């Protein structure tokens, strides 16, 4: 069923199974300094170059058109307004490569792209990027780390450079601070490898770390979900890009299962009692293998987190809302899927019985973005390989982070956009604010309240992360790049009149110069950029974001990416 701006759908019967949550042990971040780099080698996180191609692309609905941005509607770029945003430099490629002490010293790969998670609470800022984790205070002072995730999670080192043996690979970290329970949550995908070849192998897992207090520098409990056989077909499989969310009762994880041999094996959803996790128990896990959405293909289902649902929108037994695009196979589309998991309170029971519902809603058009331009500059690695400055990959048009506040679901994605008198399409951002309601009879309704584009003429915007206030205002953080800009960290504010100017909080110091884009290392001319950014709201209503940019200062030979953590003032 495809609706216009408002629709109703009855709950569908979706197969649900149980998974076992295994308790691994306790851990804490290492505060010892890391050792120096002996030499570099390469590793790219296990994402297909183009997930959509694995399912077979197609044109999409006839009514979907390339978004055209009139000159008067394009945003202007300026430095962040004084008093609106502050911030500090977060983890860099060098930090991630250097992370690890004792037996984990010099065991990290050089890895692109920089995928990151961010959580803020109780005066702390936790950031995790690729295979490293660090904790700061709100002023940016480093409190712990950077720690190798394999070290923190008691996994084998990524590689033992003395023996040449490969270990476990971790990727796609996410983080969340639950103000209700005052606990920190961290998830990561973990894949075993063949010790000799480094090829992916079973078992595969999702690892979940939960702090034992509101202080993330203390002890954590670690849990594991085996995902080796979680897929529609072609398993053994791995859980790509675990996405997380939470409501009043549950902690939710969504993944895209991919066969270790080849091919997409279906979206996966896991639901766990967050109260039992926080108490140190190992609760039952409700699992949906390849849930179906009528009229589309379920892919990258983004659970929501942020604010707890209001009484008007949440049945007494609890509900978690989620979003995804309707069908990743469509190069152009004008539909998104809204999901609801009802009866989440039952996750506290020995035999939980939540139910999953979905509906497709018609929206503004969006489509597969082109690779981004970047300002021409000196490139240390490129000069050695004899190659020119790379373009930057924008991946695809999947929905990024989803946030629930004031009864409204917010999300955004990277899309192609077109400008007057410019023959080339660019990358811009489409955002959506949708009101979902799950009635007492189990009917799911969804209505588009607000939508729009963020686009800058002649330049590119990529990998948005959105967070919102209860008052209906939101902020979108992203990377801006183009003929006029090195990759820079930026954001825009969204109010009743739509998106405002693009404000740069950290200007890029040079061009992206990582190994993943160069032919010499097997690249195709476009460097891998972070597959996602991160944003959240603290207890005082300030929005925090973590976005990729290119900083100045020390780097490794093989990559120069960095991240910037920004605080956008409350009450704007």
pLDDT value for 44: 56
Between the alpha carbon of residue 152 and those of residues 44, 58, 252, 375, the distances in Å are: 21, 43, 22, 38
Instruction: Report how many domains make up the chain.
Output: 1
pLDDT digits (tens, 9 = 90+) for 343-395: 999 999 999 999 999 999 999 999 999 999 999 999 999 999 999 888 999 99
Residues 6+ positions from 152 with CB-CB distance below 8 Å: 27, 28, 29, 30, 133, 209, 220
Residues 6+ positions from 401 with CB-CB distance below 8 Å: 302, 411, 412, 464, 465, 466, 467, 532, 533, 534, 535
Please, are residues 285 and 20 in contact by the beta-carbon 8 Å criterion? yes
Distance CA 20, CA 287 (A): 10
pLDDT digits (tens, 9 = 90+) for 74-129: 999 999 987 888 999 999 999 999 999 999 999 999 999 899 999 999 999 999 99
- Interior angle at CA 325, CA 322 and CA 328, nearest 5: 135
Q: Which residues of the chain have pLDDT under 70?
A: 1-15, 35, 38-39, 41-57, 62, 306-316, 571-572
Please, are residues 518 and 528 in contact by the beta-carbon 8 Å criterion? no
Size of the chain in residues: 572
Range of 230's domain? 2-568
Residues 6+ positions from 463 with CB-CB distance below 8 Å: 394, 395, 400, 414, 478, 479, 529, 530, 531, 532, 533, 547, 548
pLDDT value for 313: 47
N-to-C CA span, the chain: 39
pLDDT value for 81: 85
pLDDT value for 316: 67
pLDDT value for 218: 97
Nearest to 244 by CA among 187, 286, 284: 187
391-409: b or e for each residue (b if 16 or more CB lie within 10 Å)?
bbbbbbbbbbbbbbbbbbb
- Mean residue pLDDT of the chain comes to 90
């Amino acid at each position: 069923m495809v609706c216009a701006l408002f629709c109703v759908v009855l709950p569908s019967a979706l197969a649900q199974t149980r998974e076992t949550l295994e308790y691994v042990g306790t851990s804490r971040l290492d505060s010892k300094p890391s050792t120096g780099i002996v030499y570099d080698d390469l590793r790219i996180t296990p994402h297909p170059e183009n997930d959509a191609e694995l399912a077979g692309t197609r044109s999409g609905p006839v009514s979907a058109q390339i978004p055209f941005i009139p000159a008067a509607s394009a945003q202007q770029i300026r430095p962040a307004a004084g008093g609106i945003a502050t911030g500090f430099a977060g983890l860099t490629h060098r930090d991630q490569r250097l992370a690890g002490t004792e037996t984990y010293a010099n065991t990290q790969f050089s890895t692109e792209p920089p995928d990151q998670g961010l959580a803020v609470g109780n005066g702390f800022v936790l950031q995790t990027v690729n295979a490293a984790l660090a904790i700061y205070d709100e002023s940016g002072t480093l409190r712990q780390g950077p720690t190798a995730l394999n070290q923190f999670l008691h996994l084998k080192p990524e590689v033992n450079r003395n023996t040449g043996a490969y270990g476990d690979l971790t990727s796609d970290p996410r983080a969340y601070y639950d103000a209700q329970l005052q606990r920190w949550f961290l998830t990561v995908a973990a894949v075993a490898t063949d010790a000799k070849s480094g090829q992916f192998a079973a078992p595969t897992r999702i690892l979940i770390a939960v702090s034992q207090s509101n202080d993330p520098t203390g002890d954590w409990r670690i849990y594991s979900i085996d995902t080796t056989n979680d897929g529609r077909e072609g398993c053994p499989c791995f859980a790509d890009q675990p996405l997380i969310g939470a409501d009043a009762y549950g902690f939710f994880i969504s993944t895209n299962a991919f066969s270790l041999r080849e091919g997409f094996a279906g979206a996966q959803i896991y639901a766990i009692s967050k109260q039992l996790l926080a108490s140190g128990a190992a609760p039952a896990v409700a699992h949906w293998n390849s849930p179906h959405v009528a009229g589309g293909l379920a892919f990258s289902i983004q659970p929501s987190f942020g604010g707890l649902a209001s009484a008007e929108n949440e049945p007494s037994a609890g509900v978690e809302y989620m979003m995804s695009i309707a069908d990743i196979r469509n190069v152009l589309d004008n539909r998104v899927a809204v999901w609801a998991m009802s009866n989440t309170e039952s996750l506290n029971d020995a035999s939980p019985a939540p139910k999953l519902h979905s509906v497709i809603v018609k929206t503004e058009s969006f489509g597969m973005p082109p690779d981004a331009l970047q300002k021409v500059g000196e490139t240390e690695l490129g000069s050695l390989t004899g190659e020119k400055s790379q373009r930057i990959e924008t991946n695809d048009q999947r929905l990024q982070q989803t946030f629930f506040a004031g009864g409204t679901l917010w999300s955004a994605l990277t899309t192609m956009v077109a400008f007057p008198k410019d023959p080339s399409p660019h990358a811009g951002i489409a955002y959506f604010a949708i009101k979902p309601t799950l009635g007492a009879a189990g009917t799911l309704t969804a209505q588009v309240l607000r939508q729009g584009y963020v686009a800058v003429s002649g330049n590119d915007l990529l990998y948005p992360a959105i967070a919102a206030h209860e008052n209906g205002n939101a902020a979108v953080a992203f990377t801006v790049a183009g003929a006029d800009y090195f990759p820079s960290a930026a954001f825009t504010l969204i109010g009743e009149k739509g998106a405002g100017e693009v404000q740069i909080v950290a200007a890029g110091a040079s061009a992206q110069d990582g190994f993943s884009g160069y032919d010499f290392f097997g690249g195709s001319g476009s460097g891998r950029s972070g597959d996602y950014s991160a944003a959240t709201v603290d207890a005082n209503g300030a929005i925090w974001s973590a976005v990729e940019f290119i900083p100045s200062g020390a780097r490794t030979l093989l990559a120069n990416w960095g991240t910037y953590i920004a605080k956008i003032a409350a009450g704007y």
